[in-house]
Amino acid sequence: MSNNIPRVSLEDSLYVLQLAREAALAKNRQAQANRMNPVVEEMRGLVANSYQAPSTTSPSAGVMGQSDFKALLDVDKSRTSQPATVTSTSSVMERNHLISAMAEADMSDVDIARQFSMGREEVQLILSAQQKARR
């Protein structure tokens, strides 16, 4: 059976699902993240089985199509093979790394705050602290 969904749409959907799963893990919602695992795996299978030629797909628009954002998601893909048990400190560090990467991909602090269910001020504080740490 032929799949009429463009590969780039499948990949973007997979990336969104992976980010949602990572957000659940960052919030220590292991049960929610575990419920998302079968959906993520099924979507991975759809992406792997899509055979549409890359030349017929158009590049993704918006943040999802940006190379910085895709690099962030590639890091997430490589990390998904690691055990799901994450300490609280490393979970916060990973969350802060995701926040920084989203900001570097020109995602607004409001959108980042929504993604992580936190206040805009908290996102700004995290970004400010990271900028000071880099100096």
Query: Is 0.75 surpassed by the pTM of this model?
Result: no
Q: Given CA atoms 122, 127, 133, 135 in this order, what sign does their dihedral have?
A: negative
Count of CB atoms within 10 A of residue 10's CB? 20
Q: Given CA atoms 69, 75, 80, 86 in this order, what sign does their dihedral have?
A: negative
- Render pLDDT for 40-76 as a digit per residue (tens, 0 to 9): 788 777 777 764 444 444 455 565 666 667 777 776 6
- Whole-Å CA distances, 29 to 36, 39, 93: 11, 16, 16
- Render pLDDT for 20-44 as a digit per residue (tens, 0 to 9): 888 888 888 888 888 888 887 887 7
Residue in this structure with the two tokens 């936190």, named with its chain if needed: 118
